[in-house]
Amino acid sequence: MTDKLDVVTLGEAMIRLSPPNHQRLEQATSLDVVIGGAELSVAVGVARLGLRSSWVTKLPRNPLGRRIVNQAREQGVDVSRVVWSPEGRAGLYFLESGTSPRPSSVLYDRKDSAASRLTPGEVDWGFLNDVRVLHTTGIMPALSESCREVTIEAIKAAKKVGCKVCFDVNYRSKLWSPKEAEAVLTPIVKMVDVLIASDTATIWGVDGEPEQVVAEMKRRFGVPLVAMTTREDDGVLRTRSSSVAIADRPYKGRKAYDTEVVDRLGAGDSFAAGLIYGYLRGDLQTALDYGDAMAAYKATMPGDVNYATKEEIDRLVSSGENLRIQR
């Protein structure tokens, strides 16, 4: 693509395999197949909101790699900068969907995936000169030492040409320890323009009310814009966001949506997509409102990807109420 892109995301996507009907893996005789990956989900989310997005990753040149890239392409995400590998594998993860009191659980099988072997120099980041926002997460540097180097390479390239950087902490305890995450993520966070501040208590010991957390993260790391979400784990997702802007004016999401959760995975990525959408419009209130609405809508559908339409999110934001049946 030669035209200016709104958003480029960097990260791994995997094949998600789930037993149907809330079964456990040990009893399942079939598995549902979908594509999962935080950064890909953000690229899809902003594309669904009408922005031009591209996704950068490394995939094996085999049927599973093509299955993953087809998911991105069919949602309007540019995949021209995917690095193809003649060897390696696609990462897998298995999801058991629980119901109270049994929690959902994830089993990863992603070691030595093609994405984890992405190395500095394999992507020509010069194209970021025509990109408005680069988005990535703390998952990417957790995959391998080379992925940490690539993450920093991409962020530095973006900063050099004036491309804004959005970063979601997105801590994964099955990939690394809080101490490792703190050592790697602290210098990264200091370089970003927009920070989605999840897991701050685990990594940096920053806890408290949302307004306190975002203010402390902004003060400690000098990030111009910090946002976070809160939720209650009672079977209902109540999205409520808080943000601190450059001028230190606090913003809050206008509406907490009571959402019957079908699949919580990907809700945070949908929040990020809505946040970026509003941020690029230059309106922080819109950023939070669309982030909250996108997160709420995602939780109502299975899979990692949000299939909400722009019209549905517009309507939810403007009405401020949960929608009834459309006839």
Domains delineated in the chain:
5-9+40-56+124-319 (3.40.1190.20)
Beta bridge partners of 180: none
List the catalytic residue out of 78, 168, 199, 269: 269
Read out DSSP for 30-89?
Answer: --EEEEE-HHHHHHHHHHHTT--EEEE-EEESSHHHHHHHHHHHHTT-B-TTPEEESS-B
Residues 6 or more apart in contact with residue 165 via CB below 8 angstroms: 133, 134, 135, 155, 158, 159, 191, 192, 193, 194
Is residue 269 part of the annotated active site? The answer reads yes
- Residue 167 contacts residue 195 (beta carbons within 8 Å): yes
pLDDT score of 256 = 66
- In one-letter notation, the amino acid at residue 88 is G
- Residue 284 contacts residue 247 (beta carbons within 8 Å): no
Question: Tokens representing 306?
Answer: 């949000």
Cα(325)–Cα(54) distance, rounded to whole angstroms?
A: 34
- Residue 91 contacts residue 115 (beta carbons within 8 Å): yes
pLDDT in tens, the chain (327 residues): 446 899 999 999 999 999 998 899 999 999 999 999 999 999 999 999 999 999 999 999 999 999 999 999 999 999 999 999 998 899 999 999 887 788 888 899 999 999 999 999 999 999 999 999 999 999 999 999 999 999 999 999 999 999 999 999 999 999 999 999 999 999 999 999 999 988 999 999 999 888 888 889 999 999 999 988 775 544 444 455 555 554 456 666 666 677 777 777 778 899 999 999 999 999 888 998 899 889 888 888 888 899 999 999 999 988 866 554 443
Query: Could you give the 3-state DSSP secondary structure of residue 295?
Result: helix
pLDDT score of 103 = 85
What torsion do the CA atoms of 26, 27, 29, 34 make, to the nearest 10 degrees?
A: -60
Cα(17)–Cα(92) distance, rounded to whole angstroms?
A: 7
Residues 6 or more apart in contact with residue 124 via CB below 8 angstroms: none
- In one-letter notation, the amino acid at residue 132 is R
What torsion do the CA atoms of 194, 200, 206, 208 make, to the nearest 10 degrees?
A: 90
pLDDT score of 90 = 96
pLDDT score of 93 = 92
Read out DSSP for 106-169?
Answer: EEEE-TTBTGGG--TTSS-GGGGGGEEEEEEETHHHHH-HHHHHHHHHHHHHHHHTT-EEEEE-
Cα(35)–Cα(15) distance, rounded to whole angstroms?
A: 5
Residues 6 or more apart in contact with residue 295 via CB below 8 angstroms: 229, 237, 239, 267, 268, 270, 271, 274
pLDDT score of 234 = 42
